[in-house]
Amino acid sequence: MAQVVATLQQWYTYAMENADPRAKDWPLTGSPFPMLTIIASYLYFVKIFGPAYMKDRKPYQINGIIVGYNLLMVVLSAFFFFYGGSKTYLFGKYNWMCEPVNYSTDPESMLLVKLGWWYLMLKITEFADTIFFVLRKKFNHISTLHVVHHASVAWGVWIGLKFGPGGHNAFFPFINCFIHMIMYSYYCLAALGPHMQKYLWWKKYLTQMQMIQFIIATIHAAIPIFYDCGFQPVFAYIIIFHAVLFLGMFYNFYRKTYTEQIRLKNKSRQILEEMKKNEQQQAVEQNSLKKEE
């Protein structure tokens, strides 16, 4: 046991010594433990404390707050996509194929580090998605996919900020913010009330877009493994792990939610058609008997 602890300490020391020093004194970036504490607190609240607290209470009526929150998330996602994109992948500043991390302290590079820190704050803020589910007693929405996705993305962003902000690592936040602009627009419309349901027929396509996002992220992250542009492949493996994990979980959700629904609808339609045929056959037989009488 002592040997295991010593080995872990060596790995931790090695990792901290090789971290990006530019943000080491910023809030949450010096050590992993504050961030891990936030994630652990989130998990404890949404899975244990929150449901227990709400057990004998009525759901909070906070639709107005949720609409405002979703609008804010749309605006912030748009800001990171367009402004962050203008410093990276939009307008040809970054190589779409492979871009190394610039560890210098020039203003442009430091701006990307600052954007990375604020993007981490955005991912922490998104924990509110689940907290709202708890306060509204929508416990069926707090799925393994939902919780793992929120916690893992926040942790992955922290790793990217700590060890390699910018460069090839910027691609996933770039496309993720585009998806989140659309996703939070959907959530905002849904929070306006049941009368908006007729305008929300495109939920299935939103899930498809999310899965396409992970496929693109996986392919893009794999490029530095085969093409050396100065980007450390270890980051590529981390991105691929998360993207493949989320792709599998989202596909499982999609299959259960939509494919199974279609199968059940078809089966129900088939049963109804068979019942109708049987009724018609019985009617024909009854008419035949009456004629014979």
Active site residues: 149
3-state secondary structure 268-280: HHHHHHHHHHHHH
Residues 6+ apart with CB under 8 A from 119: 80, 84, 157, 161, 173
In a 3-state reduction of DSSP, which class is residue 28?
Answer: coil
Residues 6+ apart with CB under 8 A from 137: 54, 59
List own/partner pairs for 13-18 with CB under 8 A and 24 or more apart: 15/163, 18/163
Evaluate whether 44 touches 160 at the Cβ level (below 8 Å). no
DSSP 199-245: G-TTHHHHHHHHHHHHHHHHHHHHHHHHS-SS--HHHHHHHHHHHHH
CA 94 from centroid of its chain's CA atoms: 24
Evaluate whether 71 touches 179 at the Cβ level (below 8 Å). no
